[in-house]
Amino acid sequence: EDQVTQSPEALRLQEGESSSLNCSYTVSGLRGLFWYRQDPGKGPEFLFTLYSAGEEKEKERLKATLTKKESFLHITAPKPEDSATYLCAVQENTGNQFYFGTGTSLTVIP
Amino acid sequence: DGGITQSPKYLFRKEGQNVTLSCEQNLNHDAMYWYRQDPGQGLRLIYYSQIVNDFQKGDIAEGYSVSREKKESFPLTVTSAQKNPTAFYLCASSPSGSGGASLVIFGPGTRLTVL
């Protein structure tokens, strides 16, 4: 059973068209939830860590939120340079294992 | 600047050859990881090490081997026993896993292609 599921798999937005990416998880105890941005041919770049339900983090046009079973990455008025794959990962309370989702590929059209 | 370096960026291997991918970090992190990334499958854990001279198998360790002789270095060898090695390989590190959530930092990756 997948511990982390991301949706949608791919998303195309017009420049300025706000939207949200979803990350749902099924681990029993959450130590932390992480969002990364990955450009083609490069390693993932850290964006946010969320620890508990109700927490929010913001960086430029991105805002990440967390509930007990899912996280959202909200993108406000996106620009073409926001085009990338966004990965979600969770770390359980029980150990050092990290579980990654398959990512959402975002394309922002000028 | 602190970070993770991986070399080479691109690697080509003939069938039947072993190849070694380099990973070095200067973040003073205790834990290091190797992930494999294939299109549509996300990141899959190959091996991880929480301390020098110790490492554990991940989900897809068959056909791979690692060593951790120094805290800064965690090389990955892709052996001829790995039947489908063409992929993007990512090395990562994090502080000790005890206590709070441990942020994982990734290297730039090595793309391995079998000819």
Sign of CA dihedral A42, B114, A105, B24: negative
Tell me whether residues B102 and A36 touch, CB distance under 8 A: no
The predicted model gives A73-92 an average pLDDT of 96
Query: With contacts defined as CB-CB under 8 Å, which chain B residues touch A41?
Result: 88, 109, 111
The predicted model gives A52-65 an average pLDDT of 96
Q: What is the CATH number of the domain that holds A100?
A: 2.60.40.10
Separation CA B12–CA B107 (nearest Å):
19
Where b means 16+ CB within 10 Å and e means fewer, B72-96 reads: bebbbebeeebeebebbbbbbbbbe
Please name every residue paired with B13 in a beta bridge, in sequence order, or none if there are none: B114
Residue B98: pLDDT band with limits 50, 70, 90: low
Give the minimum alpha-carbon distance from B83 to chain A in angstroms, rounded to a whole number.
23
Tell me whether residues A100 and B100 touch, CB distance under 8 A: no
The number of domains in chain A is 1
Report B:32-91 residues touching A (Cβ under 8 A): 33, 35, 40-43, 45, 48, 50, 88, 90
Torsion of CA A85, A20, A9, B109, to 10 degrees: 20
Among the listed residues B39, B47, B16, B34, the one whose alpha carbon sits nearest the alpha carbon of residue B87: B39
The predicted-structure confidence for A42-52, as pLDDT tens digits, reads as follows 999 999 999 99
Report the residue of chain A nearest B39, measured CA to CA: A102
Residue A25, domain extent: 4-109
The predicted-structure confidence for A89-103, as pLDDT tens digits, reads as follows 998 887 667 889 999
A86 touches B: beta carbon within 8 Å: no
A49 closest CB neighbour out of B4, B31, B101: B101
Read off the tokens for B90.
């990512």
Q: Is the pLDDT higher at A78 or at B1?
A: A78
B107 touches A: beta carbon within 8 Å: yes
Q: Is the pLDDT of residue B99 over 60?
A: no
